[in-house]
Amino acid sequence: MAGVGIRAVILRRANLRYEFPSDFVRRIEGQTVRGVARRAKYLLVELGSGDALLMHLGMSGSFRVVQRNSREKGLHKDRYGLHDHVIFELSTGTVVVFNDPRRFGFMSLLAPGEVGAHATLGRLGPEPLTPRFDSAAFASALHRRKTSLKNALLDQRVVAGLGNIYVVEALHRARLSPLRRASTLATRAGEPRAALDLLVQAIRDVLKEAIRNQNRTGGDDRFRVYDREGQRCPRRGCGGTIKRIVQGGRSTFYCPVCQR
């Protein structure tokens, strides 16, 4: 997408989770895209001006790409659905539409140099599929935490981008209880214990598998424990039953027999 121009922008409402900046359209129209990146659950589009378009999908947001009819001139507000809130026309003739029924997503603009100092982006932990995410860094982040392991993994300051489902799945693969105190995976000096090596690998494996399966249909049948309350644990020889509890307002599914 680098090098593509943004011809026009339509805001079909004044706000999503938050109000759009008053100069949102002016600062984006006519700009060229320098690059597109992801940081945790945030999307960043670097513009030719040096500004960065910061976006979050929330719980129900999504983008779709539409090829505009070559005979059409400009964008037409009345050709989009109730929940199509932001429309971008690109120099290629392609139209990118942001749809968000629950409006928990948001878009904002960061001036040059503001990305690293952003209140949220600047505090994010390492991405789990990058070399920065290893047992040593993980142990340093966990060894003073008295919270549960499940809640620590959902803290974006510990590791960026992990969601509830994949935390649940990774903990089962690593045979670790979501109720376990996070600090027990590191020594008092902040060195990783053996169980932390298993968890790091489990997180990577779960995410890589999710990427491979992203276009696959079939719902939640690929999950080992998530949303499987009352079913037998899938680990060979375990014999336990999947239990559901609530931690931090989120559902946790785990096997109390093999996850310690």
The answer on pLDDT for 154 being more than 90 is yes
Which residue intervals of the chain are DSSP H helices? 24-28, 135-142, 149-153, 164-173, 194-212
pLDDT band at 220 (very low <50, low <70, confident <90, very high): low
The answer on pLDDT for 24 being more than 90 is yes
The alpha carbon torsion through 203, 147, 160, 16 (nearest 10 deg) reads: 130
* Mean pLDDT in residue range 192-212: 95
How crowded is residue 101: how many other Cβ atoms within 10 Å of its Cβ? 14
The answer on pLDDT for 77 being more than 90 is no
The answer on pLDDT for 131 being more than 60 is yes
For the segment 107-123, what is each residue's pLDDT rounded down to a tens digit? 999 998 888 778 788 88
The answer on pLDDT for 75 being more than 60 is no
More confident residue, 41 or 87: 87
The answer on pLDDT for 78 being more than 70 is no
Portion of the chain with pLDDT greater than 90, in percent: 80
Report pLDDT for 145: 93
Rounded Cα distance between 103 and 18, Å, is: 9
pLDDT band at 218 (very low <50, low <70, confident <90, very high): very low
Provide the 3-class DSSP secondary structure of residue 7.
strand
The answer on pLDDT for 219 being more than 80 is no
The answer on pLDDT for 27 being more than 70 is yes
More confident residue, 3 or 177: 177
- Domains along the chain with CATH numbers: 6-123 (3.20.190.10), 135-254 (1.10.8.50)
List the one residue out of 141, 237, 231 whose CA is nearest residue 191: 141
List the one residue out of 178, 181, 195, 200 whose CA is nearest residue 252: 178
The answer on pLDDT for 136 being more than 80 is yes
* Mean pLDDT in residue range 97-115: 93
Report pLDDT for 193: 96
Report pLDDT for 114: 87
Helix (H) or strand (E) holding 86: strand 84-90
Q: What is the pTM of this model?
A: 0.78
